[in-house]
Structure 1
Amino acid sequence: MSIAKRLLRSPVITVTLAGSLGLMMWEVHQLRTSHVGITHSAPVWSGDRVAQVETIFTALNMKELDVPVDRAGSGGALTSLGNDLIVMTHEGGFFEVSGDEAVTLDIAPPPNGWQAMLDFEEANPDYNFAHFYFRYNDVDVVDGKLIVSFTEWVEADNCYRTTLSTAPLNGTSVDAVSISPDDWTILYATDPCLAPNPDGRAIQGHMAGGRFRVDDDGTLYLAAGDYAMDGTYSPVALSQDPDQMYGKVLAIDTATGEHRVFSQGHSNMQGIAFDADGRLWTVEHGRRGGDELNLIREGSDYGWPQVSLGTRYNKLPLPDTLDYGRHPEFQLPAYSWLPSVAVSSLAPVDDFHPAWDGDMLAGSLAGNSLFRIRTNGEGILFAERIPLGFRIRYVHQHGDTIALWTDQKKVLHLTVGEFDPSYQFAVAKIGDLGLSNRTAGAVETALDGCAECHGFGVLPSASAPSLGEVYGRKIAGLTDFDYSQSLSSAGGEWTREQLVAFLDNPQSVAQDTSMPDPALGDPEVINALVDILISLREQAE
């Protein structure tokens, strides 16, 4: 379908981003001259567990759903089976989560040696096992099979590895699926099997990576993390050793299990995806700085742990780094986050919204955000940060919904919403005021010119107080903004007289406000703007 037709079909094309008026600007001049970027505001929740999320090209509706999880920890993944959305938790629970409640599925996870690991721990109390990091990492439905990646404890050898197991599905609906522990078959396991670390954490399971994607030819690409066996948290670094299947992207034949090293020099890849042009990308945790988005080229070495655009958490350089703060000699990342955002998961976007289609979405744990990434050939055009207030563990598109799995044990459903139409209301109101063409044009110019900072609705704005209910509101009455001292101490409410005075000369109302004089000049224009503000208040009520 052409972009033009899809735009005509979309309900959001009929409205634009809520505008703003040149009034009550909180430190507008300072904002314009300080080079501080304007960020999106946080989601605004309603009483029915639905929030509106602001992005540049579309508003989003966000609905949350709780998932029951017994064991402390984080991890897991999302996938689709027909019309059903499935979440797999870090402890191996499976739930259908496309509706209003999480429904437990008759799917037992592949055996991971959990009890045998606990037995080893009891017999060897000197080892420090962090149970919350021992987890199931990824899941997908491929050719009538469920594929799961996870950290496995191998009882016979008292060691651990990353394992891929498959189980047959009985149909295209979760209602027909029943999987027992005996139904699983190991497709592939990393080698060698690693002995638990006697110093520090026995298993750094949160550094396992374990995300995977399967291409159209049946090759599975596994982002095999190095379990922090990097020369800092362990005596040796595995990612530069071609005989160690850790810190690598591995290409695995899903029919035979045969594998080859596709790329090396990786640390903890928490996301892997093909873009719209079939290129393979990963997102990878750094340490203190140096999270990466990498375009994966077969045979390339991405340098870990010899190079990184970050440091150790104690702020010291990485051991044996080639060039502190540089990334020489190895394949450069396409993009790097400084400071780190704990980038987690990666998913392509298709047929969601015309302005988003073809992009990729990356979750962020430390940043509590979603990043929309636009690639430009082999580079990055932009990465739009969308604050959501949750640690985003996994991103997955399910039909016309972007589904997110969070460390707060919630599934978030993102769908295309509508921008607040209050700016259109304000512009339309001009025609009701009986103004001359010249005055009406001046009023609309004022609205448009000040729309850089304020919103006309009642929802919060990231850059300045919203004006939808400014009339009658306490002066400097919003708690989300750092008003100037004179506004904060002014007292009273925004009456018609106060609004007229502020628009005519902001410094006469608040001497130290950094809002520049809007230079409106014409009392008729000023009073028309105040009339619109009063109408917006009445509309909101």
Structure 2
Amino acid sequence: MRIRPVVIAALAVPLVASNASAQSATVIGNAGTTLSVAPVTDFNEPWAMTFLPDGNLLVTEKSGNLLLVSQDGEKTKISGVPNVAYGGQGGLGDIVLHPQFSENDRVYISFAEPGDGNTRGAAVASATLVRDGGSASLENLQVIWRQQPKVTGEGHYSHRLAFSPDGEHLFITSGERQKQTPAQDMEVNLGKIIRLDPDGSTPDDNPFQDQGELAQTFWSVGHRNMLGIAFDGEGRLWAHEMGPRGGDELNLIKPGENYGWPVVSNGRNYNGSDIPDHPTRPEFEAPEASWTPVISPAGLVIYSGGVFPEWQGDAVIGGLSARAIIHVELGEQEDGTLAGEVERFDMGARIREVEQGPDGALWALEDRAGGRLLKLTPADAD
């Protein structure tokens, strides 16, 4: 295990202009690491991104736009995106490539979908990405999964996506839509992590086989609002989720386990009332890392590149309320957990998404209108 540097919040230095270029900047983490931050372009409420094999990006905007973006910032709007229920936390969400994208050009998108009676729910669709000269479109779009039931409200959709390392299964985070109790209800798929075959069918080796047809799609239960999900190099699945007032979590996801929401949390209810902490109910899986005050985690990548060799195998998390990028070591910690914060970088803006680029650089999306696409490299690599 690497020795973790002492983390002292007062050392955090916000993003500052670099003398090297008017377009670049540096940010110094609270353990002394200096990053070079190069803005590429900006968006209207960007939410997610993924890299294509040719190095271009696909970027979603919450209002319903999907954009093909070059690494120098040239943007092409992609047609064929379904109508989304835009508002609150809802809209166009995540995007990932089919594991055989190079052969089939299939992509997967998540979005908030309108329903009857002012209700909404997350949905996931697959489609073929067609590029023809200077235009691009989604074709043969098929919805393969929906939150059941659709409910009122505009929060906690989650709808982050990840394929297993073998490419055989799609994992979907399904938030509890700010309703709390559905997370423990086996007759609804809110507050769960879902595991499906790529065509949306249900694998017969999912853990909850004897609790109804819908429960057969569940991989884990008892979740709140999960805005990051990723596999590490050992094939382990990690997901983070927002706590209420305190208690943001990074969880090692195990099949068939219950993560306790809303029965336990290391945070408190918004009205100030107490929620029992995780140690009071050992039958629930406890987080490997927890944050109070919250960081409001959004976006998650397990780093595997060569640009940051000391970060290999570690998690990188975007922070919304923290306005930061958080580096988390994955491995046995002194307190017996398997994750611990190493360093925090004050970015001066809400960070919605983080990704690893094909060359090993880190990329981030700022939240909200005017949110920028940023490329991050070690400052000494410039």
Q: Which residue of 2 aligns with 1:54?
A: 28
Question: What are the within-5 Å matches in structure 2 for residues 382-397 of structure 1?
Answer: 382-397=341-356
Alpha-carbon spacing, 1:37–1:57, altered in 2? closer, same or farther (3 Å)? closer
The gaps in structure 1 that reach 5 residues or longer are 1-31, 115-129, 197-202, 231-236, 421-541
**Superposed CA RMSD:** 2.6
- Check if 1:363 corresponds to 2:363: no
The structure 1 residue matched to 2:259, chosen from 271, 289, 302, is 302
Q: How far 1:326 sits from its partner (Å)?
A: 5.1
Structure 1: which 4+ aligned runs deviate by more than 6 Å? none
Q: Is the 8 A contact 2:278 2:286 kept in 1?
A: no
CA distance in 2 between counterparts of 1:263 and 1:177 reads 40
Q: C-alpha displacement at 1:364, in angstroms?
A: 0.3
| Equivalent-residue separation in structure 2 for 1:170 and 1:277 (angstroms) | 34
* Range that drifts further, 162-171 or 238-247: 162-171
Instruction: Please list, as runs of the form range in 1=range in 2, the aligned pairs for 1:306-345 lying within 5 A after superposition.
Output: 306-317=263-274, 321=275, 323=276, 327-329=280-282, 330-345=284-299
Taking the aligned partners of 2:57 and 2:223, their CA distance within structure 1 comes to 31
Which residue of the other structure, out of 77, 83, 101, is the alignment partner of 1:111?
83
In structure 2, the residue matched to 1:63 is: 38
**Partner in structure 1 of residue 301 of structure 2:** 347
The structure that is helix-richer by fraction is: 1
Q: Does the alignment pair 1:141 with 2:97?
A: yes
> How far, CA to CA, are the matches of 1:412 and 1:406 in structure 2?
8
Whole-angstrom CA distance in 1 between matches of 2:262 and 2:293: 18
* Deviation for aligned residue 1:325: 7.8
Quote the Cα distance in structure 2 between the aligned partners of 1:379 and 1:221: 22
Superposed, 1:139-178 pairs within 5 Å as: 139-142=95-98, 143=100, 144-155=105-116, 159-170=119-130, 178=136
Distance 1:176 1:147, change over 3 A: farther
Q: What residue in structure 2 maps to residue 29 of structure 1?
A: none
Equivalent position amino acid for 2:91 in 1? R
Q: Which amino acid aligns with 1:168?
A: T
Within a 5 Å distance, the mapping from 1:233-252 to structure 2 comes to 237-252=181-196
Choose from 77, 101, 105 the match for 2:48.
77
Task: Give me the whole-angstrom Cα distance separating, in 1, the residues matched to 2:135 and 2:182.
Answer: 39
Take 1:166 and 1:185, find their aligned partners in 2: how far apart are those partners?
A: 5
Number of aligned residues: 345
Aligned partner of 1:123 in structure 2 is: none
1:410, CA displacement in angstroms? 1.1
Contact map agreement 1:308 1:327 (CA 8 A) in 2: no
SS, match of residue 79 in structure 2: coil
Answer whether contact 1:310 1:325 (CA < 8 A) is retained. no
1:270 aligns with 2:227: yes
In structure 2, how many angstroms separate the alpha carbons of the residues matched to 1:188 and 1:385?
A: 36
| Displacement after TM superposition at 1:177 (Å) | 6.3
Query: What secondary structure is seen at the aligned counterpart in 2 of 1:316?
Result: coil
CA distance in 1, matches of 2:160, 2:49: 11
How far did 1:132 drift? 3.7
Q: Which residue in the other structure is 1:225 paired with?
A: 175
- Percent identical pairs in the alignment equals 28
Which position in structure 2 is the counterpart of 1:432? none
TM superposition score normalised by structure 2:
0.83
Question: Do the aligned partners of residues 68 and 386 (structure 1) sit closer, same or farther apart at CA in structure 2, a change above 3 Å counting?
Answer: closer
Structure-2 residue corresponding to 1:412: 374
**Equivalent residue, structure 2, for 1:28:** none
Whole-angstrom distance in 2 between the partners of 1:183 and 1:177: 17
Deviation per residue, 1:347-366 (Å, 9 max, x gap): 11112321112111011011
Structure-1-length-normalised TM-score? 0.59
1:213 pairs with one of 146, 150, 162:
162
Deviation of 1:42 (Å): 1.9
CA contact (8 A) 1:62 1:414 kept: yes
What amino acid does structure 2 have at the position aligned with 1:88? T
Q: Give distance in 2, aligned partners of 1:399 and 1:278.
A: 20
Q: Is the 8 A contact 1:94 1:105 kept in 2?
A: yes
- Residue 276 of structure 1 and its aligned partner are, at CA, apart by 1.6
Give ranges in structure 2 of 5+ residues lacking alignment.
Answer: 1-5, 203-215
Matches within 5 A, 1:195-214: 196=152, 203-205=153-155, 207-214=156-163
Q: Which amino acid letter does the alignment assign opposite residue 228 of structure 1?
A: Q
Within 2, Cα distance between the matches of 1:36 and 1:145? 45
